[in-house]
Amino acid sequence: MTMMGDPLSDDGADHERLPGNRSRDALRAAQMYYLQDLTMNAIARELRTSRSTISRLLSLARETGLVQIQVNNPSERAPALEQQIRRRFGVEAHVVPIADSVNDSEVLDRVAIQAARTIGPLVDSNAIIGVAWGSTLSAVSHHLTRKQTHDSTIVQLNGAGNTQTTGITYASEILRSFGQAYGARVEQFPVPAFFDHAETKTAMWEERSVRRILDLQHRMTMAIFGVGSISAGIPSHVYSGGYLDREDLATLETDEVVGDVATMFFRADGTHRDIKLNSRSTGPDLDRLGTVRRRICVVSGESKIDGLRGALAAGLATDLILDEGSARRLVHS
Amino acid sequence: MTMMGDPLSDDGADHERLPGNRSRDALRAAQMYYLQDLTMNAIARELRTSRSTISRLLSLARETGLVQIQVNNPSERAPALEQQIRRRFGVEAHVVPIADSVNDSEVLDRVAIQAARTIGPLVDSNAIIGVAWGSTLSAVSHHLTRKQTHDSTIVQLNGAGNTQTTGITYASEILRSFGQAYGARVEQFPVPAFFDHAETKTAMWEERSVRRILDLQHRMTMAIFGVGSISAGIPSHVYSGGYLDREDLATLETDEVVGDVATMFFRADGTHRDIKLNSRSTGPDLDRLGTVRRRICVVSGESKIDGLRGALAAGLATDLILDEGSARRLVHS
DNA sequence: AACCCGATTGCACAAACGTGCAGACGCGGG
DNA sequence: CCCGCGTCTGCACGTTTGTGCAATCGGGTT
């Protein structure tokens, strides 16, 4: 059989180019597949192309957010764990079901996928979304599903430079993914994670280029972050990646820090007064963070539980996405 | 391998019975399948059961509305046909893509499936939903996806009795399906489709039992109906099912009727003054119908196009779900 | 015209999935 | 206790779907 030119578009009138003619075919195919329950074979016959093309069109439709699949947690009779967490900690919990047997890196991956799909529907136009960085957020960023929005902005929550690398590529990759998925502007925060001297921070915070970012953060409608936990078996990026020296780590211990969100530290009871490092950290003021409408915390792995407890005590999150094992440990003790 | 008792519920604490323990497993499975992209095999291993069970659990999850798949029509750059219809007729169009080659009964079926899935997301709690009857609505009713709502009511739009059968079973099956799918009360309208004497209707309309239904109809928040078309190749139920005698059909012609919605007739220009049969019909007053917030008209098959044109001229619908062929004929002439 | 390079297609095969069927289970009645 | 009946399970098979690969297309450049 020989080729024929673009057999799918049989209404060949207007050739608008940007939306991609392909995406219209994807919509057609998606309607037939998901709304009419035809098989790919049937669709292929009807659109005069091969089944594999349809398979690929459907992939496209899913990836670009044309098709949205949501699993709704029928409110009241949600799984026991989620209810308990909501009652005890006052956050909306999304527990990711995972058997205990799976290894940590797979847990992270699966939590990340589900987090990405849970976040998707919550994003809407004109949003200003603060995004932290770290291994958790990195994993999430790889699985975002696309969603078209107008005039949205992704803003970096805290600096990422350190003494060894500028950290820029790592953090900016994460931001870029978010921006691309939601069609949003990306605003990086080009400062180190920690200043060496608090005075430098004070000075920088007066710079107009910095104030622009701070202003965006001030107007955030949504924040997305993981937590760091000092006691973690595998310590977070922050505690091992060359951001802090021996002396810094010592002051954290003295200050009874249990964890951090976006490189701002807190204690087990949620307080953060007088924690020395915070005055040099570029993360958002935690009191102010607590006023953001929607604050989504993603946690994977039981080792982060101490940090998580602190973050919850501090009321940093409105929504919590975490694996089942951690959820169990959170309530069962 | 031998059986073990209920291997899926490993948290065997509370045995609430009504929600069905099974549905919790279905939720778990659905999350793993649709949100974490695991294969059924992997899920089966993790939940210690067979892949086929997972397959069935997922079916359940879809049927009961635990999983909702929606294909969104990215607003502005919607297919040309839908835009044209919206502009020319002022209704939100949902065109069901179908090649011209398929036969009429399959068209009906596929329009019905897609209609059911389009309606689903629009239904919400405290709704009062008026539902007509006819072959189109019957087909739709077979494909509704479940959705939990509180305090919703399904109310029959027009009587269904005729001289040969009471018509009750047919219409009531449709209503029952809707009620079950949305967890709603069902209010039947136990009157014939047409009274023999207009005075009887007037009298009945004063009865309290009837007034209760009329009152519900008055407070409708949504109405769902097909259209009848007199010129249809295959005439609608109404025109051939023993509801009307030869004389009635003659007066329709005299009155220049082109079609009906819920057994209320109208002309090509959308008017319905002085159409004699309407005074004996039990359908809703068309002027009043036009004030319902959401009015969904489902049409399949090009033969109904004349009736449809009349209905659109009368402004009876806010949303129109129809097959591609009809949509094309609607705009291309 | 000849060439090249990335995008797109259909093919073929492997992986994943749906479903009829027969056996196992739980429960109530004889 | 045994039997019957409806429900649920896993198996086996056929169907449906994903994907690496080679061929083809389109359009831009030398």
Q: Which residues of B196-228 are buried (b: 16+ CB within 10 A; e: fewer)?
A: eeeeebeebeeeeebeebbebbeebbbbbbbbb
Give CA–CA dist A13/A7, Å, rounded: 14
The nearest CA of chain A is from the CA of B114 a distance in Å of 5
| Nearest nucleotide over every DNA/RNA strand to the A54 CA, judged by C1' | D17
The predicted pLDDT at position A327 comes to 92
Question: Residue B11: how many CB atoms within 10 A of its CB?
Answer: 11
Higher-pLDDT residue of A19 and A60 is A60
Report chain B residues whose CB lies below 8 A from the CB of A47. 99
Assign A300 a pLDDT band (cuts: 50, 70, 90).
Answer: very high
The tokens 């590529």 sit on which residue? Answer: A169
Chain A residue with minimum CA distance to B144: A35
CB-nearest to B74 from A70, A98, A148 is A148
Question: What pLDDT band is residue A115 in, cutting at 50, 70 and 90?
Answer: very high
Report percent pLDDT > 70 for chain B: 86
Mean pLDDT of B100-118: 87
CB atoms A36 and B110 under 8 Å = yes
**Which of A71, A113, A322 should be substituted to probe chain B, the one whose Cβ sees the most B Cβ atoms within 10 Å?**
A71
* Chain B contacts in chain A segment 37-66 (CB below 8 A): 37-38, 46-47, 61, 65-66
Helices (H), ranges, B9-103: 21-30, 40-47, 51-63, 80-89
Rounded to the nearest integer, the mean pLDDT of chain A is: 84
| pLDDT of res. B234 | 60
Q: Count Cβ atoms below 10 Å from residue A302 Cβ, excluding itself.
A: 21
Task: Read off φ and ψ for residue A120, nearest 5 degrees.
Answer: -40, -60
Is B36 in contact with A113 (Cβ distance < 8 A)? yes
pLDDT beyond 50 at B251: yes
Integer Cα distance of B190 and B204 in angstroms: 11
Question: Would you state the pLDDT for residue A13?
Answer: 33
Quick one: B15 exposed, middle or buried, by C-beta within 10 A (0-12, 13-18, 19+)?
A: exposed
Q: Which of residues 47-76 of B touch strand C (CB under 7 A)?
A: 51-52, 55-56, 58-59
pLDDT band at residue B169, thresholds of 50, 70 and 90?
Answer: low
State whether residue B103 sits within 8 Å of chain A by CB: no
Task: Share the mean pLDDT of chain B.
Answer: 83
The pLDDT assigned to B310 comes to: 94
Taking C1' of D10 and every protein CA, the nearest residue is: B50
Residue A84: C-alpha distances to residues A136, B18, B83 (Å)? 24, 20, 48
* pTM of the predicted model as reported, rounded to 2 decimal places: 0.79
Tell which strand D nucleotides have any atom below 7 Å from a protein Cβ.
Answer: 8-12, 15-20, 24-26
Average pLDDT of span B110-134: 90
CB contact under 8 A, B47 and A77: no
Is A8 within 8 Å of chain B by CB?
A: no
Q: Which of A125-134, A173-182, A213-222, B235-244 has the lowest mean pLDDT?
A: B235-244
Residue range B120-129: mean pLDDT, rounded: 89
Predicted local distance difference test score (pLDDT) of residue A172? 81
C-alpha to C-alpha distances, A320 to A127, A227, A261, A297, B58, nearest whole angstrom: 20, 11, 13, 5, 25
Q: State the angle between helix axes of B21-30 and B51-63 in degrees (0 to 180), rounded to the nearest 10.
A: 100
Residue predicted with more confidence, B249 or A287: A287
The predicted pLDDT at position A4 comes to 37
Least CB–CB distance from B71: residue in A11, A30, A97: A30
CA angle B252, B254, B257 (to 5 degrees): 45
For B6 and C26, how far is CA from C1' in angstroms?
12
> Rounded to an integer, what distance in angstroms lies between the CA atom of residue A333 and that of residue B11?
16
Q: In this complex, do B97 and A73 lie within 8 Å of one another by their Cβ atoms?
A: no
Average pLDDT over residues B275-300: 93
